[in-house]
Amino acid sequence: MIDFVNYLISGALIGLLYSLIAMGFVVIYRASKVFNFAQGELVVFGGFVVWWLVVHLGLPLYVGLPLAFVCAAAFGLLIERVFFSRLVGESVFAMVMVTIGLLILIRGVVLVLFGPQVRPFPIIFPLEPIMIGDIFIPRSLLYGGVLTVITGLSLSWFFNRTRPGLKMTAVAEDHQVALSLGISVRSSIAFAWILGTVLSTLGAVIYLSGKSLNFLASDIGLTALPVALLAGLESIAGLLIAGIIVGVVQGLAVAYLDPLVGGAVGSILPFVIMLGILFIRPTGMFGWKTIERV
């Protein structure tokens, strides 16, 4: 029984981590209507920037971390300036294909800049877990979960209640309509990418704290896709619920199903969930239902 509670708690916390990674994805979608396939690479890039500043250059954490977030934001702005500012007015199809190009490009850039070696990631949250009786809670994931909930709720408030957030929502609805209403699509996309890279870096900090890092860590970006879909691509607060659902289901599957079929169920399950959502309810739990016309 105590095992079950432990699986439940760690599943939910890992789920919240997925929500945070997916949040970077949804923020970019919510403010620019672009499906960002390069989400995992943004996480890896953020992780490597933190490694470079804190471990390689040896800056103290309270200097290195804020600086890493600044670097990530600059990187987001750079992506927008180089690629997306030239594509305003082109089809969304082209923009999404560019993110596929970015997936490869950022991986290459990371390999050139930081190399393929496995690097130690700095310990940002204390390693020893919190024990309540027999219940075992990993500290980094707990703090990360709390941060995720706070970030999720405040971003949700920002996008649904404030004027700049609603402007970006209009951009996600339709680029041309937004332009004709006097909303700058470019600045909206720029903001989306800055926010996306910063959130990805935050995700990397929580995900990798005290672990090791190389370019293969980007897999988490694809694992976060099902969470975004389950929530519905437009809903940020919904991510928190969807993340917990996916995390708990995955955690229980790893604990109870893997021994039966010989492994790897946990890694494939999010994609099975994703296929299920796509077939049953493509708009997810809280997504927008759009009406189309010619």
| Least CB distance to another protein at residue 228 (A) | 10
- What residues form DSSP beta bridges with 131? 136
- What residues form DSSP beta bridges with 120? 212
Between 245 and 273, whose beta carbon lies closer to another protein? 273
One-letter amino acid of 19: S
Considering the rule CB under 8 A, would residue 52 count as an interface residue with another protein?
Answer: no
| Least CB distance to another protein at residue 144 (A) | 25
CB atoms within 10 A of CB 266: 18
**Binding string to another protein for residues 239 to 268, with x set by CB under 8 A, is what?**
----------------------xxxx--xx
Considering the rule CB under 8 A, would residue 94 count as an interface residue with another protein?
Answer: yes
- What residues form DSSP beta bridges with 213? 119
Q: Which residues lie closer than 8 Å to 140 by C-beta, 6 or more apart? A: 124, 125, 127, 206, 209, 210
Q: 114-129 burial, b for 16+ CB within 10 Å, e for fewer? A: beeeebebbebeeeee
Considering the rule CB under 8 A, would residue 78 count as an interface residue with another protein?
Answer: no
| Least CB distance to another protein at residue 129 (A) | 31
φ, ψ (nearest 5 deg) of residue 236: -90, -45
Question: In this chain, which of 104, 118, 130, 150 binds another protein, going by CB under 8 A?
Answer: 104
Considering the rule CB under 8 A, would residue 62 count as an interface residue with another protein?
Answer: no
CB atoms within 10 A of CB 283: 15
Between 259 and 263, whose beta carbon lies closer to another protein? 263
Q: Which among 102, 273, 123 has a CA at the least distance from the CA of 213?
A: 123
Considering the rule CB under 8 A, would residue 291 count as an interface residue with another protein?
Answer: no
Question: N- to C-terminal Cα distance for the chain?
Answer: 56
| Least CB distance to another protein at residue 53 (A) | 21
Residues 119-158 that bind another protein (CB under 8 A): none
Q: Which among 251, 184, 192 has a CA at the least distance from the CA of 12?
A: 251
What CA–CA distances, in Å, run from 131 to 128, 135, 137, 209?
A: 9, 6, 6, 19
Between 140 and 235, whose beta carbon lies closer to another protein? 235
Between 87 and 252, whose beta carbon lies closer to another protein? 87
Number of residues in the chain: 294
Q: Is 39 exposed, middle or buried (0-12, 13-18, 19+ CB in 10 A)?
A: buried
Q: Which of these segments, 127-135, 146-154, 163-171, 273-281, binds another protein (CB under 8 A)? A: 273-281
Between 40 and 138, whose beta carbon lies closer to another protein? 40
| Least CB distance to another protein at residue 231 (A) | 14
Considering the rule CB under 8 A, would residue 77 count as an interface residue with another protein?
Answer: no
Residues 161-220 that bind another protein (CB under 8 A): none
Contact positions vs another protein (CB under 8 A): 35, 83, 86-87, 90, 93-94, 96-98, 100-109, 111-112, 115-116, 222, 225, 229, 261-264, 267-268, 271-272, 274-275, 278-280, 282, 292-294
